[in-house]
Amino acid sequence: MLANFLSDTKAISFSGCFLQFYFFFSLGSAECFFLAIMAFDRYLAICRPLHYPTLMTGRLCNILVATCWALGFLWFLIPIIVISQMSFCGSRIIDHFLCDPGPLLALTCSRNPVIELTSSTLSSLLLFIPFLFIMGSYVLILKAVLKVPSAAGKRKTFSTCGSHLAVVSLFYGSVVVMYVSPTSEHEAGMQKIVTLFYSVFTPLINPVIYSLRNTDMKCAMKKLLGILP
């Protein structure tokens, strides 16, 4: 994608397009599952603090990580293979800066409702199943936090979830605009901007968000803000 930005021709081969399609969506799918597992980790840490060391073992962590990667790279494999076997005719211009399923399906010789429905269903399941898992975890966390007697204790307990909630909001906010909101010619340009935000800006600020609870990071941010007008 970065090479395409810097290139003068803005061209990509057929195989390169579908490789980009596969890896972009596979990594995005894996991130969905990782965010869900991170919510589960915070649920155990807050709601089951005494059992946490025995429940969240190194072996379980390895299994969860391997499962997220496997599901991420298998989730869209069949639809991508099927779409790559379809016939493309007419204009070969993709109305996007990456190989996205919508612009790709618009270039096919004939519409295939089954493929489009399968792609939409898998996308919806991928978004909503982890999201519901995350929301369920935070409902249980909120119930546990409300039982803490002191206000300071509540803030301290819930502050451990702040960075994860910020990343979830950025991720799902941009993805919903990209793939769930209705599309139109006017919104196609907006989707390009949101895709750029999701694929470039969000990964850049994720390390900053996760480091905000670090004392050294807070001091550095205060110094930086102090020199700004």
pLDDT for 5-33, tens place per residue? 666 666 778 788 888 888 988 988 999 99
Look at the block and give the residue holding tokens 């546990």: 144
Residues across the chain: 229
Number of domains in the chain: 1
The answer to the question of residue 112 being in a domain is yes
The answer to the question of residue 96 being in a domain is yes
CATH number where 71 lies = 1.20.1070.10
In degrees rounded to 5, what are phi and psi of residue 15? -65, -40
**pTM surpassing 0.95?**
no
**What is the C-alpha to C-alpha distance for residues 219 and 225, in angstroms, rounded to an integer?**
10
Q: In the prediction, which pLDDT does 186 show? A: 44
The answer to the question of residue 7 being in a domain is no
Look at the block and give the residue holding tokens 């969000």: 202
pLDDT tens for the chain, 229 residues: list them. Answer: 666 666 666 677 878 888 888 898 898 899 999 999 999 999 998 888 888 999 999 999 999 999 999 999 998 888 888 888 888 776 677 777 778 777 777 778 777 778 778 877 888 888 889 999 999 999 999 888 888 787 777 777 777 787 888 888 888 887 777 666 555 444 666 667 777 777 777 778 777 777 766 565 556 656 665 654 4
In degrees rounded to 5, what are phi and psi of residue 150? -95, 150
**What is the C-alpha to C-alpha distance for residues 192 and 84, in angstroms, rounded to an integer?**
22
- Which residues constitute the domain of residue 91? 12-227
The answer to the question of residue 16 being in a domain is yes
The answer to the question of residue 210 being in a domain is yes
Alpha-helical regions (H) of the chain:
2-6, 14-47, 52-55, 58-75, 77-84, 101-106, 113-146, 151-159, 162-179, 185-196, 202-210, 215-227
Q: In the prediction, which pLDDT does 188 show? A: 61
**What is the C-alpha to C-alpha distance for residues 202 and 178, in angstroms, rounded to an integer?**
14
The answer to the question of residue 6 being in a domain is no
Q: In the prediction, which pLDDT does 228 show? A: 47
Q: In the prediction, which pLDDT does 70 show? A: 95
> What are the Cα distances from residue 9, in Å, to 4, 13, 99?
8, 12, 16
Look at the block and give the residue holding tokens 């390895």: 62
